[in-house]
Amino acid sequence: MSLLRRRKAPENEIQSDVEPKLDAEEDDKKSKKKNVKSGKKKKWSCIDNCCWFVGCICFVWWILLFLYNAMPASFPQYVTEAITGPSPDPPGIKLQKEGLKAKHPVVFIPGIVTCGLELWEGHQCAEGLFRKRLWGGTFGEVYKRPLCWVNHMTLDNETGMDPPGIRVRPVSGLVAADYFAPGYFVWAVLIANLARIGYEEKTMYMAAYDWRLAFQNTEVRDQTLSRIKSNIELMVATSGKKAVIVPHSMGVVYFLHFMKWVEAPAPVGGGGGPDWCAKHIKAVMNIGGPLLGVPKSISGLFSAEARDIAVARALAPGVLDTDIFHFQTLEHIMKMSRTWDATMSMIPRGGDTIWGGLDWSPEEGYSPCKSKSRDDAAQNSGHHENQTTDFKAKYYSYGRMMSFGKDAAEAHPSDLKRIDFRDAVKGSNVANNTCDVWNEYQDMGVSGTKAVEEYKVYTAGEIVDLLNFVAPKMMARGNAHFSYGIADDLDDPKYSHYKYWSNPLETKLPNAPDMEIYSMYGVGIETERAYVYKRIPTAGCNIPFQIDTSADDGDEGSCLKSGVFTIDGDETVPALSAGFMCAKGWRGRTRFNPSGIKTYIREYFHAPPANLLEGRGTQSGAHVDIMGNFALIEDIMRVAAGGTSENLGGDQVYSDIFKWSEKINLRL
């Protein structure tokens, strides 16, 4: 018995040793379960969080997309009408009910940047992009290969034509400019409404062209002007009716060039003869036309910015100037855009006579706080009525298109001490020779940029000299294709050169007394008119000039905000530029309109959409959004269906365009 007890003892000892271990393991398991339940055991990494976040977004997006495709097509309109009330019939349906039908063929002339461009030949980095859109559409290639995209969108800096090994061409057909990007219409709404009364592709023509090229070069390279001529002739011959031309933005000055080209003798012109326009054109309905140029083009060419970019730079200092992966954003934009010769067609024309000088401007006394509604504007509108207040910022005049410092912008002319920049000696900046992105500022050096600043103030007449000083290579090409003055004698043989054809102050309208010309544009939106600049002392590889966003009066009635003086217009083109020629320069028989073509002003007061469901609105006066303005579309359709100015009611004016025009002392 004692022996058995001795033999069992080790087993008991072993069992007693194992039991605590088993108990410990069970406790560990229980604790692990508790930790798993409480989330304490597993630690989440950043990758896990990112994956969950992306997954949730994708799931929500898929659900929303499913619901959007599953809902009835009439549901968005039902919700909109439930909130805002019944919406008016689109112009197409309205005029269809009135019995209007397609009559005159319609030709669309797109403006700058709104026409799609596609690749036909490129470098190795553009492999797989044959006939894919580099401009317009989704802009996917901008994000995938930005430097490659910039190289293919840039023209030759010497010739203004294709660089070696690259061919980018305009998209053809109505799809060239119906939408600028998916969901962002340009001509699509007008085309759809015209289709309601019987128009189709054989009676509508989109005159697509490469908007980067100088106007005459579109003919030299692509024979675009010849194509426009032959298509208009075909449409007129098959329909038996004259064409209605509808240009937009820069397309307005492009078609002005065309009207001189088509009548000029070959080989420089189209050889159509002096009566071609009279035989083929019923009306020209210009939409947002920068006939006298756009101050906004100055800031773009001078510093590759405008008010929106300047404000963005102020909100996020250094972002646009930082060299991220050797991609200097604004420097690349400047290098590219300065090869687009067409941009120089929008430099302000007419100099101080049109735009004002150091101590005066046609719009002097304007205050943006005066007219805040369409009813107020209509009540005060008229050919000789003053809609604006007598507000004037000290001695400031809109004629000072560029000023270095707010003090210079507001100083009395007698207090301005300016040092002429034209004969200043330029000096190369050694540090800039290592820059990845070359621009002409690197040839000026510190002495050249300082000379620009010391001149203090620039009027419209001095802007051309300034651009010749800071960008001589760019302006050498521009001066060969465009002019910016006022003709003394329009019968002088020199004005037969094509460089004058797009300047309404240095060319005559065609001999077509039965033709009508309309200036159709938006008003009621603050539009860039003049700028306050500053120089960056240590520019390095960056652009040495910036809009001074700290220059701000802060008053409700002030036109100076974030370094930009604003005036009435469509947000891009001032009313003075869009309306002056039809208000005065071409009105009646003048030396610019010897045959007395009838001209009319049609202004559309801007009314933003009431809510997000209305999209971009049907009463917008903004430069591009106006293409969906129901009133403008109806005006175009009535003329295309055979109507005249009497059917439209003649002039429709909300701004002070007639008052401003009277202040301009132009010999007519």
- Which residues are annotated as catalytic? 249, 570, 623
652 DSSP assignment: B
Cβ neighbours, 10 Å, residue 330: 19
Cβ-contact 621, 654 below 8 angstroms = no
Cβ neighbours, 10 Å, residue 355: 30
Nearest Cα to Cα of residue 105 among 205, 191, 172: 205
Measured CA to CA, the distance from residue 239 to residue 104 in angstroms comes to 7
Q: Which two tokens stand for residue 119?
A: 């690749």
Using CA of residue 464, residue 470, residue 476, residue 481, what is the dihedral sign? negative
Could you tell me which residues are beta bridge partners of residue 571?
none
Scanning the structure block, which residue is given the tokens 């006579």? Answer: 353
Name the pairing type of β-strands 133-135 and 117-121. Answer: antiparallel
Q: Which residues contact 578 (CB under 8 A, 6 or more apart)?
A: 286, 288, 289, 290, 291, 519, 521, 569, 570
Angle at 157 between CA 153 and CA 163, to 5 degrees: 55
Measured CA to CA, the distance from residue 618 to residue 629 in angstroms comes to 5
Cβ-contact 139, 153 below 8 angstroms = no
- What does the chain come to in residues? 668
Q: Which two tokens stand for residue 638?
A: 């009535």
Phi, psi of 135 (to 5 degrees): -130, 135
Q: Which residues contact 606 (CB under 8 A, 6 or more apart)?
A: 522, 523, 524, 525, 570, 619, 620, 621, 622
Nearest Cα to Cα of residue 178 among 166, 155, 194: 194
Measured CA to CA, the distance from residue 495 to residue 498 in angstroms comes to 8
Q: Which two tokens stand for residue 389?
A: 């207040």
Cβ-contact 573, 290 below 8 angstroms = yes
What is the H or E stretch that residue 237 is in? Answer: helix 224-239
Measured CA to CA, the distance from residue 184 to residue 628 in angstroms comes to 11
Measured CA to CA, the distance from residue 441 to residue 452 in angstroms comes to 11
Name the pairing type of β-strands 564-569 and 525-535. Answer: antiparallel
Could you tell me which residues are beta bridge partners of residue 566?
528
Burial of 326 (0-12, 13-18, 19+ CB in 10 A): exposed
In this structure, which amino acid lies at residue 600?
A: Y
Measured CA to CA, the distance from residue 650 to residue 435 in angstroms comes to 56
Nearest Cα to Cα of residue 298 among 175, 465, 71: 465
Q: Which residues contact 278 (CB under 8 A, 6 or more apart)?
A: 510, 511, 512, 513, 514, 515
Could you tell me which residues are beta bridge partners of residue 590?
593
Measured CA to CA, the distance from residue 117 to residue 121 in angstroms comes to 12
